[in-house]
Amino acid sequence: MRTPPGPKLPFGIRRYRRDAAAIMGELHRDYGEVARFRVGPQVMYQVTGPGPISEVLHDKTGAYRRGQVYGGFELFFGKGSLTTDGEQWRTLRAAGQPFFRSGSLRPAVPTIADVITDMMDRWDALGAPDDPIDIVPEVMRLAFEVVTRVLCGCDLSERSTEVVAAIPHVLSGMFPGSPELLLPSWVPGPVRRRLRNTRAVINGVADTLVAQHLSGQLPPDRLVGTLFDTIDPATGAPLTRQQIADELKTYLLAGHETTGCGLAWTLYELAEHPDVTERLAAELERELDGRPPEAADLPRLPYLTQIVDEALRLHPAIPMFPRETTRDVEIGGYHLPARSTLFISSHTVHHDPRHWPEPDTFDPDRFAPDRPKPVPYTHFPFGGGARRCIGAPLAELEIQVAVAMITQRYRLTPQPGYPVDEHSLISLRPRFGLPMTITARREQPAR
């Protein structure tokens, strides 16, 4: 069987850290749907065709596991449902699943709307109306507060600023080839110190949640209480404090940064496309008449859904995700040896002109109800198969409600000439932030 094609020379680690999504795109263009490449000394593979991706994500034979790259995530996430496999993963996934059913999420919409209103009130109080606001830290705070309030039933808003400030260091520390991971653990210096401080912030939030649960301050039927009631099949005993803290960190980290990126890019695309924004504003006016949306309204807001789908196509918040082969495998007709690291790149597939004509154009009508549904694995911002993102229903709901409420209240204008670029360091963040001028559509009634 053939070895996948790929460039002879390796990519430098610095360029890979700076431009991973662009490199994935180039590899796909030059070598096709399964490609082999090196970053520094390490051989890796990428998979960018719907057929081969489906083979990997729906494998029933155990040929793929989380592997070395997800192992690096344990630095911050510990051993939670994102980083583990097998029985431990199944148990954690089953514990979290009920919180993402529509019956659990629908009643959460007023809570989500409250957090969004707090953010918009903060914007009103910030500086002169013509001063641009970088919306990236704003939406990150929003997403962090939504996860803690909806899943844990507690208000940790006073911690959101330090968490949001810590996240770029978390992403940098987890990315393959990071200086943090290359250094031996005993080497002192600024990188190690930053790593220690960042871990302390994230661990501190999980510890606070555990302490609040133990002192009876949290509703017992939310995520923390459920994890305390969960039995570890490996020991037959309840999960340990460490396992509980690891799973809480998983939800806090995986649940807020991604949704923040998705919302930031959606707002950016709307700001760049006033025609789309005004069509959305008309839909919102017709269906909501100025009030915040409730869960029951969302099916009557198809254009809103199309906009979010299209923004997540152009800018999938997790642009690529890894697997490791447990044994020799064949993917798309190519041979990959056991213990190979491979990346599935939704970003590349979402920009493939064979699936999406004029792929770089923002066009929500691609998802209009009268258009054919996308072919499987040509639009998959949340992954797929058994490991599909557990939080997808919350993320979509939150972004839709936020976009609706922000569009009802404001016009957002990007700062002219400001550089906008994607940086794919685990998630797909706006590299230089997204400063916007925020103008009220109409006077707000006093609260």
With CB under 6 A as the contact rule, the residue among 78, 383, 430, 433 that binds ligand HEM is 383
- Residue closer to ligand HEM by CB (options 191, 311) is 311
Residues 290-319 that bind ligand HEM (CB under 6 A): 316-318
Q: Is 395 in the site for ligand HEM (CB under 6 A)?
A: yes
CA distance 284 to 342: 43
With CB under 6 A as the contact rule, the residue among 391, 402, 405, 429 that binds ligand HEM is 391
- Residue closer to ligand HEM by CB (options 394, 438) is 394
- Residues 226/118, Cβ–Cβ less than 8 Å: no
Q: Is 262 in the site for ligand HEM (CB under 6 A)?
A: yes
Residues 130-159 that bind ligand HEM (CB under 6 A): 147
With CB under 6 A as the contact rule, the residue among 382, 404, 408, 430 that binds ligand HEM is 382
Of 117, 145, 111, the C-alpha closest to 444 is 117
C-alpha distances in Å from residue 256, one per residue of 19, 48, 106, 348: 23, 26, 19, 23
- Residue closer to ligand HEM by CB (options 57, 191) is 57
Of 210, 287, 284, 258, the C-alpha closest to 399 is 258
CA distance 201 to 158: 13
Count of residues near ligand HEM by CB under 6 A: 24
Q: Is 287 helix (H, G, I), strand (E, B) or coil?
A: helix
Does the annotation list 154 as a binding residue? no
CA distance 393 to 329: 33
Burial class (CB in 10 A: 0-12, 13-18, 19+), 387: middle
Q: Is 251 in the site for ligand HEM (CB under 6 A)?
A: yes
Q: Is 331 in the site for ligand HEM (CB under 6 A)?
A: no
- Residue closer to ligand HEM by CB (options 71, 132) is 71
| Token representation of residue 194 | 């930053």
| Token representation of residue 394 | 């919350």
Q: Is 389 in the site for ligand HEM (CB under 6 A)?
A: yes
Instruction: Considering only the stretches 47-55, 175-183, 220-228, 249-257, report the one whose residues sit in contact with ligand HEM under the rule CB under 6 A.
Output: 249-257
- Residue closer to ligand HEM by CB (options 49, 383) is 383
Share in percent of the chain as helix, strand, coil (round to 5): 55, 15, 30
Q: Is 394 in the site for ligand HEM (CB under 6 A)?
A: yes
Q: Which residue is nearest to ligand HEM (CB)?
A: 391
With CB under 6 A as the contact rule, the residue among 82, 206, 264, 280 that binds ligand HEM is 82
Q: Is 209 in the site for ligand HEM (CB under 6 A)?
A: no
- Residue closer to ligand HEM by CB (options 3, 68) is 68
Segment holding 321, helix H or strand E:
strand 320-325
Residues 409-428 that bind ligand HEM (CB under 6 A): none
- Residue closer to ligand HEM by CB (options 77, 356) is 77
CA distance 55 to 158: 44
- Residues 251/394, Cβ–Cβ less than 8 Å: no
φ/ψ (deg, to 5) at 266: -65, -45
With CB under 6 A as the contact rule, the residue among 16, 64, 77, 321 that binds ligand HEM is 321
In the beta sheet, which residues pair with residue 193? Answer: none
Spell out where 135-284 has E strands.
231-232, 237-238
Q: Is 39 in the site for ligand HEM (CB under 6 A)?
A: no
Instruction: Considering only the stretches 12-20, 122-130, 196-204, 255-263, report the one whose residues sit in contact with ligand HEM under the rule CB under 6 A.
Output: 255-263
Q: Is 255 in the site for ligand HEM (CB under 6 A)?
A: yes
Q: Is 176 in the site for ligand HEM (CB under 6 A)?
A: no
Binding mask 87-106 for ligand HEM (x = CB under 6 A): ------x-------------
DSSP structure class, residue 433: -
User: With b meaning 16 or more CB within 10 Å and e meaning fewer, what string describes 303-316?
Assistant: bbbbbbbbbbbbbb
The annotated binding site for heme is made up of 389
Binding site for ligand HEM (CB under 6 A): 81-82, 93, 147, 250-251, 254-255, 258-259, 262, 316-318, 321, 381-383, 387, 389-391, 394-395
The annotated binding site is made up of 389
